[in-house]
Amino acid sequence: MGKHRIKVVLLHFAFSEYTIQLANSLVKYVDLILIHSEEIYSQCKDVLNPHIRVIQIKKPRIRDPRNIKVITAMMRMIREINPDVLHVQETNDPWYDLTLLFSKMPPLVTTIHDIYRHPGDRDLTPGAEYTRRIAFYRSQQLIVHSQSLQDILITQFRLPQQRINVLPHGELGSLFQSWSSGQIAPREPHTLLFFGRIWPYKGLKYLLQAIPLVAEHIPGVKLIIAGRGENVSELLQDADKKHYEILNNFIPTGNVANLFQRSAAVVLPYIESSQSGVAAIAYAMGTPVIASNIGGLREIVRHEQDGLLVPPCDVQSLADAIIQLLSDSHLQRQMQIAALERCQQDLNWSNIADQTIEVYHQAIAAKSTSLMTK
């Protein structure tokens, strides 16, 4: 790449799978120090590149005031490391956010996965929706995963376009494959998968309305609903249970790959979307995606190449797309190949790491310029 090896601190409190994949590729090009909680480290230590220097912090629960002491010590540690860049995955931690108002920071890059709280999302820490916006203004460079998020930051937050970088959300499937038992599940040609947190913005109710329409044409259709959140049993009170496999709880990481490999398609009937980690898992499994034509989904799913896009909240269009894909084994195969090819192209982590390092150099230059003009 023709540039000296820079020192980077990568800090994250969430989006662990994304951060692991990014760190494992970044460490080939930069001196990388990864900071995260002991809890996160216990989940990911077996899949981290051994060349990554890892610092664990003992993080109290989010409402615990001892966080002040922990975060203050962590920021002091970062200043002692004196990195060329501090890269933070968008945080759900207001304690960290507030330090940005008072701490002298190295050149700061922040990845923003979501700007606003998703409708019905109860996981976001109270207050964090507002405090994390501090990073929007304090960062020399921002990374988002869709053009739609960049547009929001420019129009609603009045941020200059040159500070916002649109980088793809890399594939996550290979990580879940490494966590699995290694057995490849046979593809079930009439099985669909709805995966992840079951909150209202995911639009599951529209998919449940579409399944009986699909069953009229494909009697063997089956929908796997895998994830925690809303009570799925209540949503399925009057449904024909033979068309459903319900896993209404947290899915262990070792079981995730099997669900995607079994399925002919993953369905994302969302009514709102910034980007999709679920699609990022699906493509590395060679599983096509049927999704709502909104937000970041319309940017990651390439219509009639590696998936199908349908209008949101349109039950008939959703059913028609499912019938189209499940009825055509040749189309399924074409899309499976295209999905896998994406993982060698824009969703490839080496390519994303290369782009991320360019953002680091922009942040360093911006910080240097601001110091010179003071």
What is the pTM for the complete model shown? 0.88
In this predicted structure, the answer to whether residue 126 has a pLDDT above a threshold of 80 is no
Of 167, 142, 164, the closest CA to residue 350 belongs to: 167
Lowest mean pLDDT among 173-177, 200-204, 291-295: 200-204
Q: What is the pLDDT at residue 144?
A: 94
Q: Are 180 and 285 a contacting pair, CB within 8 Å? A: no
Mean pLDDT of the chain: 88
Is the pLDDT reported for residue 124 higher than 60?
A: no
**Whose CA is closest to 348, among 11, 3, 7, 28?**
28
The amino acid present at 94, given as its one-letter code, is: P
CB contact set of 13 (below 8 Å; sequence gap of 6+) = 36, 37, 40, 59, 89, 91, 92, 93, 96
Secondary structure (3-state) at 101? coil
Would the pLDDT of 181 be above 80?
no
Confidence of residue 158 (pLDDT cuts 50, 70, 90): very high
The answer, yes or no, to whether residue 339 has pLDDT greater than 90, is yes
Average pLDDT, integer, range 137-153: 92
Rounded average pLDDT over 7-25: 92
d(CA 15, CA 4): 29
pLDDT band of residue 1 (cuts 50, 70, 90) is very low
pLDDT digits 0-9 by tens, 238-286: 778 889 998 888 888 889 999 999 999 999 999 987 777 899 999 999 9
Residues 131, 207: Cα–Cα separation, whole Å: 35
Does the structure show a pLDDT above 80 at 67? yes
pLDDT of residue 45: 86
- Predicted local distance difference test score (pLDDT) of residue 312: 95
